[in-house]
């Protein structure tokens, strides 16, 4: 844990209100890092920051920001200007399963900003600061779907491949300057998105990995100099052994079911809408 503090005294975590982002916040707090918690949900961020400060005696700063807006990343960079930030966890992202042509173009553009441009802006902004000070680290959270195109999530798999290639290249570019970069490719991590997509955990090929375990594996891989990691040894093995065409077909079928689940839920008058 103490190795985290060698990068700097503050960590910036986007998408920190739930799932993988929240798990990163908890892990960094245990390691003694002060936290900038960024997401759209002020209430959840405030509660999380208060709890982590009380338990681990750290400082925190809540930044309510919508990173799907073109100026969101710049706003976050400005808010962090006075802090000794040494670790960036660029985790915020979103996805909407369904057929590409059925989706509205403005929504696709907005998700493209969140899933690509925001990572670009934050990696560039914090990367320059880290190089100038001669140390720092970045975790760019992509997705296992970045490895190939995914039917029924074509837009997101394409966007996540940008993050994968960006981070993998920066791993080598920034290493001589003392800056570590790793790309996290979560696939079967247990987050609220499983429930949002209406997927049955018991029917998934592999039991979902707890988010805290995925984060621990990612931080260990960062420390040991890996350019990327697929959390969960079982999934890494399955990914290597499954032919590409079969993986595309199976994942596309699962995402097609998720799209059907979402459509059914949204049109069912008995289903309450939650923000």
Q: What are phi and psi of 77, to 5 degrees?
A: -60, -40
pLDDT at 217: 97
Contact 167, 183 (CB under 8 A): yes
Report residue 30's pLDDT band, with 50, 70 and 90 as the boundaries.
very high
Identify the DSSP state of 13: E
Enter the tokens of residue 10: 């503050």
Q: Which of 105-114, 245-254, 257-266 has the highest mean pLDDT?
A: 105-114
pLDDT at 110: 96
Domains and CATH numbers, the chain: 2-267 (3.40.50.720)
The CA distance from 216 to 214, in Å, is 6
147-175 pLDDT per residue, tens: 999 999 999 999 999 999 999 999 999 99
**Considering the chain, what is the average pLDDT of its residues?**
91
Residue range 172-189: average pLDDT? Answer: 96
- 3-class DSSP state for residue 136? strand
Q: Is the pLDDT of residue 120 over 50?
A: yes
Report residue 212's pLDDT band, with 50, 70 and 90 as the boundaries.
very high
More confident residue, 159 or 2: 159
Identify the DSSP state of 3: G
Residues, the chain: 275
Residue range 54-82: average pLDDT? Answer: 97
The CA distance from 211 to 134, in Å, is 31
pLDDT at 2: 55
The CA distance from 137 to 169, in Å, is 14
pTM (two decimals): 0.91
Q: Is the pLDDT of residue 54 over 60?
A: yes
Residue range 236-243: average pLDDT? Answer: 89
11-21 pLDDT per residue, tens: 999 999 999 99
Contact 165, 227 (CB under 8 A): no
| Residue located via tokens 């195109």 | 149
Q: Is the pLDDT of residue 250 over 90?
A: no
Q: Which of 189-198, 206-215, 218-227 has the highest mean pLDDT?
A: 218-227
The CA distance from 137 to 63, in Å, is 20
262-275 pLDDT per residue, tens: 787 665 433 333 22
Q: Which of 4-8, 89-93, 206-210, 270-274 has the highest mean pLDDT?
A: 89-93
């Amino acid at each position: 844990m103490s190795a985290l503090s060698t990068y700097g005294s503050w960590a910036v975590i986007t998408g920190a209100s739930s799932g993988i982002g929240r798990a990163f916040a908890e892990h960094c707090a245990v390691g003694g890092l002060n936290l900038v918690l960024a997401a759209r949900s002020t209430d959840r961020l405030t509660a999380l920051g208060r709890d982590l400060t009380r338990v681990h005696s750290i400082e925190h700063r809540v930044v309510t920001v919508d990173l799907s807006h073109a100026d969101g990343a710049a706003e976050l960079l400005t808010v962090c200007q006075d802090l000794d930030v040494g670790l960036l966890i660029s985790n915020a992202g979103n996805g909407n399963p369904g057929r590409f042509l059925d989706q509205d173009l403005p929504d696709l553009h907005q998700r493209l900003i969140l899933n690509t441009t925001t990572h670009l802006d934050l990696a560039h902004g914090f990367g320059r600061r880290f190089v100038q000070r001669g140390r720092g680290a970045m975790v760019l959270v992509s997705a296992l779907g970045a490895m190939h195109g995914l039917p029924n999530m074509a837009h997101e798999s394409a966007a996540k491949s940008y993050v994968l290639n960006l981070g993998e290249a920066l791993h080598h570019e920034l290493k001589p300057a003392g800056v570590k970069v790793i790309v996290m490719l979560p696939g079967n991590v247990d987050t609220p998105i499983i429930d949002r997509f209406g997927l049955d955990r018991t029917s998934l090929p592999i039991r979902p990995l707890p988010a805290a375990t995925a984060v621990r594996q990612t931080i260990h891989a960062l420390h040991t100099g890996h350019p990327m990691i697929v959390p969960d040894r079982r999934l890494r093995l399955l990914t290597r052994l499954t032919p590409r065409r079969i993986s595309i077909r199976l994942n596309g079928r699962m995402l097609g079911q998720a799209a059907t689940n979402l459509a059914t839920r949204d049109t069912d008058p008995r289903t309450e809408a939650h923000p």
